[in-house]
Amino acid sequence: MTKVLVVQFSAAFGKVQENLLKLENTLKDNINKDEQIDLVVVPEFFATSTDYVNHATDENGGEILDRVKTLAKLYHTNFIAGSIVRRVGTKLYNSSFALNRNGEVIGIYDKIHLFNYFGGQEGTKSTPGSKLCTVDFDFGKTGIAICFDIRYPMQFRDMVKLGVKMIVLPTAWIFPQEQLKDPAFRQDCVDIWRAMAKTRAYDNVVYFVVCNQTGIISPVMEGLGNSMVVSPYGKIEASLDTKEGVIKADLDFSKVDIARDEFPVQELI
C-alpha cells in the first residue's frame, strides 16, 4: 500500500509566512510519530494564494521550497509542492516541485495550460510550460499536472504512455465569491469538478489525486474545495467538502494492474 496525505486549505492572500506555518502545523497535527506517509500533496499557490506575482521566487523555489524540503526530510516523505511561481530569466512559470524523502528535487512541472478564460488572466502574467512531467517516486511512476490542465484529456493520456499509475493534480479551482453564494451554481460547479476527475481516472485507468484550495483565498475569489482521491475504476475513494482538512488514503497499485488487465488502455493508445 502507498499512503498519500492530501492537504486542503485556504491560503491567505499574499501571506507567505502565515501559509507556510499553517502547512507545518497541519502536518504536525495529522502525521503520527511512527506513521509512514509516502506522499504529501498540497494545493496550487499554497504559499501565496493568487498574489503570486508579488511573491515570485527564484528558479529554484526560494525560501518557500526550502521550507518544504525541511518538511519532506522531517517526515521522511515524498512531496508534491502544489505550485510555486518562479522567475526564470525574465519569465514567470507556475511550477510544481516533486521532492523525494531526502528533500531533493526530482522533478519540476511547469503548468502548460494557463487559465485565460471567463476573465482569467494567468497567461498575461505567466509563461506556459511545454513538457509533460512524470516522476519516479520510490513507490512508483507518477504524473503531475496543475489545475486547468484537467480540461485537456490528451495530456493525461500521454502520461499513461509513459507508464504512470497515478496522476496528481494540485489546484486552485476558484470562482468569484458572489457566484458561489448561489447554492445551485455551487452544486453545478461541484458536480462538474467531480465528474472531470472521475473521468480522467477512469479513461486512463489511474489513481487520480486532486488537491484544491478552499474557502476565501483573495478579496474576491473562493476555492471550491472538494479535494479527492479517485480509483482507476473512476470511484471516489476519499474526498473533502469545503472545510480545511486532510485526506489520508491507502492506494493499492495492484488495482491499476488488475483494471488494465481487464481493459488494456495502454495497448489502445
10-residue stretch averages of pLDDT, the chain, 269 residues long: 96 97 97 93 97 95 98 97 96 98 98 79 85 97 97 95 97 95 96 98 97 95 97 97 97 94 79
- How much is the pLDDT for 29? 96
> CA 159 to CA 4: how far, in whole Å?
20
C-alpha grid cell, residue 258 = 488488475
- How much is the pLDDT for 157? 95
> CA 255 to CA 233: how far, in whole Å?
9
- How much is the pLDDT for 118? 61
> CA 13 to CA 84: how far, in whole Å?
14
Q: CB under 8 Å to 120, separation ≥6 — which residues? A: none
Residue 131 buriedness (CB in 10 A; 0-12 / 13-18 / 19+)? exposed
- How much is the pLDDT for 224? 97
> CA 151 to CA 148: how far, in whole Å?
6
Question: Which amino acid appears at position 268 of this protein?
Answer: L
C-alpha grid cell, residue 50 = 493568487
> CA 264 to CA 204: how far, in whole Å?
10
- How much is the pLDDT for 57? 96
Q: What is the dihedral sign for C-alpha 161, 265, 209, 48?
A: positive
Q: CB under 8 Å to 233, separation ≥6 — which residues? A: 201, 202, 255, 259
